[in-house]
């Protein structure tokens, strides 16, 4: 993983909500490598995660609780003298959002205002608050309007997309001239890489099948257009945004930043890459056959992003090609799945 080695993070007290998730675990690893003291909010004691597999849990302070527990969040920020917050906790599965919108709104929307209120109650030590939104908050725009731009209106329709758009707007409310909290919102494309153990997601599901630990069943025609960014690049960008925000909050407070690769791919092309790099290309024809005539429900047809603004403001650009990222992901899953299978 390519990490920003600037000394800014050394000794900083950093809270990550959703630390036991895929992105939270990778960000925690990056912060530890930069000398930060990391605190993480965890809702359950699940140990089959990147955080525990990489043995990061004994290097950080884990606090059990829910993102909607405002008083607990306030105590953490106050007692631990938190300097930076990365808000990643979310119900992230589109399918779960369709089946259980209440849970999705409760976690993603209420959880965000509870956190913002906790920060507002004790802002003395807070230097940076980075809130993870998503490209899906924009809703469905025609392909000719791609890539998404930061000034596009948010037009979501489905529960997950709406919940994240609401959280996005709530977070930016606390950066206005009344509350003046140092908040930046990020909207990234699909993130993939080591530790993504949500097997309803395309790349981990197909990788697991290619490595012989399951069968991949397509959930659509494969014609949807998406953009995929490697998690190591995302961790690097989060560190850069957090540092710049802490150093220049007046200029960046309330900003929104998109990040993608501006290299859109059809889902079927993503699958072809996974099967090819897994040396299972001969099995891809059967996957193509299964995708014929399938329809995808509750998802947007075309979504991708560029990195123009984050490149201008932070000098950031993706450092991993898609093939490189997929190769690294496959190698990580080889070790993880073998370990899990032998356990």
Using one digit for the tens of pLDDT, what is the confidence trace for 225-236? 999 999 999 999
Q: What is the model's pLDDT at position 6?
A: 55
Q: What is the model's pLDDT at position 298?
A: 67
Q: What is the model's pLDDT at position 292?
A: 86
What is 10-193+229-260+304-321's CATH number? 3.40.50.720
Residues of the chain with pLDDT under 50: 1-5
Global confidence as pTM: 0.94
Q: What is the model's pLDDT at position 1?
A: 37
Q: What is the model's pLDDT at position 332?
A: 98
| Six token digits for residue 102 | 């209440």
Q: Show me where the domains of the chain are located.
A: 10-193+229-260+304-321
- Dihedral sign, Cα of residue 210, residue 214, residue 219, residue 225: negative
Q: What is the model's pLDDT at position 59?
A: 97
Q: Is 160 a catalytic residue?
A: yes
Q: Kindly name the residue from 53, 141, 158, 160 that is annotated as catalytic.
A: 160
């Amino acid at each position: 993983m390519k990490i920003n080695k600037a000394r800014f993070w050394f000794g900083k007290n950093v809270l990550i909500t959703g630390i036991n998730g895929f992105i939270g675990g990778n960000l925690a690893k990056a912060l530890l490598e930069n000398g930060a003291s990391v605190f993480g909010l965890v809702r359950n004691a699940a140990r089959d995660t990147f955080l525990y597999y990489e043995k990061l849990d004994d290097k950080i302070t884990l606090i059990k609780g829910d993102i909607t527990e405002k008083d607990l969040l306030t105590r953490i920020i106050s007692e631990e003298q938190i300097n930076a917050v990365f808000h990643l906790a979310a119900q992230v599965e589109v399918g779960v959002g369709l089946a259980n919108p209440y849970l999705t709104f409760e976690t993603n929307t209420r959880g965000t205002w509870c956190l913002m209120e906790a920060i507002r109650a004790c802002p003395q030590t807070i230097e940076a608050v980075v809130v993870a939104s998503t490209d899906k908050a924009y809703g469905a725009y025609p392909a000719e309007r791609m890539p998404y731009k930061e000034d596009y209106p948010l037009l979501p329709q489905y529960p997950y997309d709406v919940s994240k758009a609401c959280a996005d707007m709530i977070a930016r409310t606390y950066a206005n001239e009344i509350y003046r909290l140092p908040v930046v919102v990020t909207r990234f494309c699909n993130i993939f890489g080591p530790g993504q153990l949500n097997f309803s997601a395309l790349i981990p599901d197909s990788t697991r099948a290619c490595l012989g630990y399951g069968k991949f069943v397509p959930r659509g025609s494969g014609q949807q257009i998406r953009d995929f960014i490697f998690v190591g690049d995302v961790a690097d960008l989060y560190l850069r945004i957090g540092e710049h925000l802490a150093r220049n909050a007046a200029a960046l407070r309330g900003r929104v930043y998109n990040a993608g690769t501006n290299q859109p791919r059809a889902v079927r092309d993503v699958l072809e890459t996974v099967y090819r790099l897994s040396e299972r290309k001969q099995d891809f024809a059967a996957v193509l056959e299964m995708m014929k005539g399938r329809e995808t429900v509750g998802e947007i047809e075309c979504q991708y992003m560029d990195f123009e603004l984050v490149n201008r403001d932070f000098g950031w650009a993706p450092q991993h090609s898609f093939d490189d990222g997929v190769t690294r992901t496959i190698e990580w899953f080889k070790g993880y799945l073998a370990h899990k299978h032998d356990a």
